[in-house]
Amino acid sequence: MRPEILFPLFAETSRLQGVGPRLSKLLETVAGPHVVDLLWLLPSGVIDRRFSPRIADAPHGVGCTITVTVVEHRAPPNRRRPYVVLCSDDSGMLELIFFNAKGDYLMQLLPPGATRVVSGKVEHYNNSYQMPHPDHMIPPEQIESILALEPVYPLTQGLTPKVLRRAIDGAMARLPMLPEWGDTALLARERWTPWNESLRAAHAPETHEALSPLAPARRRLAYDELLANQLALAMVRQHQKRRKGRSIKGDGALFKRAEEALPYQLTNAQRMALAEISADMAESARMLRLLQGDVGSGKTIVAFLAMLGAIEAGYQTALMAPTEILARQHFQTIAPLAEALGLRIAVLTGRDKGRAREALLADLAAGDIHVLVGTHALFQQDVGFHDLAFAVVDEQHRFGVHQRMAFSDKGAGVDMLVMTATPIPRTLAMTAYGDLDVSRLTEKPPGRQPITTRAVPAPRLDEVVAAVGRSIETGARAYWVCPLVEESELIDAAAAEERHHHLAGLFGSRVGLVHGRMKATEKDAVMEAFKSGEIDILVATTVIEVGVDVPEATIMVIEHAERFGLAQLHQLRGRGAGASSCLLLYQTPLGETARARLKVLRETEDGFRIAEEDLRLRGSGEVLGTRQSGLPSFRVADLAVHGDLLETARDDARLILNRDPDLASERGQALRVLLYLFERDAAVQFLKSG
């Protein structure tokens, strides 16, 4: 249950005075549905209303607060012309400009002959000084109320700064006195004020520096959010570790035969990862490990070799991928090796129905299937294992923590290995996978050729098409990735269809198309045609659709490369097995960040360096792309600048749970409030006395 002290903050914004249904919808768009969401909407800028020049000294385009005498009103002859109020001081004339104005209202507010203080942006136009739609028009005795730094907030259409500020003030008025959850020594060292005071300071910046994420008030709020994140993950981990695992030790016979059958040597990084996984499996606590590595670094084979330890000990194993295409690819990669070892491997997706599915499930329940590969279908109620002990989840960021934990219900103390080909910066990995130990595959398998990456401006599209045409005549195959138009499969698919139509007009039936709105059977058929060589150019939309190994596909064209994140571009280009080339088509002119991204990509193939650069250039909110990412979103914290606070929060969370695993102490109770405040409620259920 959410603590009662937080009830006022989790009320809907419509409960605030002066906020009706229409306004609450606008507030939800810009912040969220609850009062607390307005607290996290921090100012993005400030207007300095303390600058009070004479009219003649007011610079163009600058906000000014000027004391004037109202001279006359000039009503327009029609609605298309503005209403003008002429004002003066001893240095010159100022025109106040209003469009669609109500004359009588302005006459009341600005009677001729009266002295008024007007505040807004001054513009020089046709040798006259103008102030379009002043923000403030008040009597001189009220001037002190506006001579300040005024915070500027993000807005949405239909929401004015004044109305938003009034709603935020209403939210601040509901602030309860919350118990202090911060570590006393840390608060003293950082000179942080209590949470309430820090929040008030963040909403009332007194200098431009106060807007910086490094300002003390914002650092304090960011730390609180990161502590809630790290504490929640540590509690999930504690809960998982409390659930008894089992010690799994194979005799190494299958592993030895499999290694001898491989047509290549394992890399040192693969051997190290396998040693870490085996050591975890041998422990009686459950294994929770993340395996990170670039496309082509050999994660699937590491996962399969690790499975053999569980199979040698008499248990079953499972591998889950986020899409049918990837599940079948994993199956095809490991099936020949599994069958050579006399093991039975099967694949299960949502498409499998009827008697064949029933027979497969019966064999699975009887223990006759050693390795089951599949999609989310593995979670279905009627999928029962004889004795599942080891599970692998691929492309983990497509699943959440709770889906990861759902595997626990399919067996007793299941050891878990999760894999990702998305290089994730260390700080992001800590916020998303803080409940996991991490192994990294930092080497490419022997014989892996470098990728030549070139950036080409979009107007040279015809040259690129001609070059691709010449390459496919020599037996090469090409991926053509279409622009990420926006977070909409419909629009992305339309862009891909348009490019497919264009290329098919030149190369006929040698061009195929896959996108997210096609049926799985259609996608599979196109992918199969691409792999077999019936199709030479594959037009595709998102990253995962091209997550399929076709060694002959040594050309990658990415349109609108400036719209993709670095990690996505890096993943896309690492496909072909031979010497590959990647052409990044970009729209001109390029922004500074996009230019820096493309430069990094040309300089390095190190996925982990690329991931850190991506975080630095774009901030944590966008690194994996929101639609495909299970990463937590932060309201105040920014991992690109608050990495040191994340380290401290992780250490603090571990220390807290070592000393007070059930959060029963006075500080523990305050930390429960913190978890609810940042909506990490789900973790509280793992406390014995939750």
The string of pLDDT tens digits covering residues 93-123 is 999 999 988 899 999 999 999 999 999 999 9
pLDDT tens per residue, range 422-432: 667 777 777 76
Residue 156 in domain: no
Residue 397 in domain: yes
Q: What is the pLDDT of residue 203?
A: 96
- Give the integer Cα–Cα distance in Å for 7 and 628: 32
Tokens of 511: 């061009």
* Percent of the chain scoring above 70 in pLDDT: 89
- Greatest mean pLDDT range, 189-198, 428-437, 584-593: 189-198
> Do 458 and 504 fall within a single domain?
yes
Q: Are 85 and 122 in contact (CB under 8 A)?
A: no
pLDDT tens per residue, range 567-588: 667 766 655 556 788 888 888 8
> Do 351 and 484 fall within a single domain?
no
Residue 230 in domain: no
Q: What is the pLDDT of residue 293?
A: 84
* Residue 370 DSSP code: S
Q: What is the pLDDT of residue 288?
A: 84
* Residue 562 DSSP code: G
Q: Residue 448: which pLDDT band, with cuts at 50, 70 and 90? A: low
Residue 611 in domain: no
Residue 595 in domain: yes
Residue 660 in domain: no
Q: What is the pLDDT of residue 525?
A: 87
- Give the integer Cα–Cα distance in Å for 331 and 391: 15
Cβ-count burial 41-57 (b if 16+ within 10 Å, e if not): bbbeebbebebeeebee
- Give the integer Cα–Cα distance in Å for 297 and 445: 6
Tokens of 176: 């309860």
**Pairing outcome for strands 83-89 and 62-74:** antiparallel
> Do 54 and 40 fall within a single domain?
no
Judged against a pLDDT cut of 70, whether residue 543 lies above it is answered with: no
> Do 358 and 413 fall within a single domain?
yes
> Do 389 and 537 fall within a single domain?
no
The CATH number of whichever domain residue 352 belongs to comes to 3.40.50.300
Residue 261 in domain: no
> Do 491 and 549 fall within a single domain?
yes
Q: For the chain, what is the mean pLDDT? A: 87
Residue 502 in domain: yes
Tokens of 312: 């040698």
What is the number of structural domains in the chain?
4
> Do 287 and 413 fall within a single domain?
yes
- Give the integer Cα–Cα distance in Å for 687 and 662: 5
Domain boundary among 441, 466, 498: 441
* Residue 476 DSSP code: -
Higher pLDDT, 223 or 601: 223
Q: Which residues contact 52 (CB under 8 A, 6 or more apart)?
A: 64, 65, 66, 67, 147
Find the mean pLDDT for residues 467-489.
Answer: 80
Find the mean pLDDT for residues 510-514.
Answer: 92
Name the residue range of residue 402's domain: 267-441
Domain boundary among 604, 633, 650: 604
Q: Compute how many other C-beta atoms are within 10 angstroms of the C-beta atom of residue 91.
A: 14
> Do 369 and 295 fall within a single domain?
yes
Q: Residue 400: which pLDDT band, with cuts at 50, 70 and 90? A: low
> Do 459 and 600 fall within a single domain?
yes
> Do 54 and 95 fall within a single domain?
yes
Q: What is the pLDDT of residue 492?
A: 58
User: How long a stretch of residues is the chain?
Assistant: 690
> Do 286 and 435 fall within a single domain?
yes
pLDDT tens per residue, range 430-444: 776 766 788 888 777
> Do 431 and 480 fall within a single domain?
no
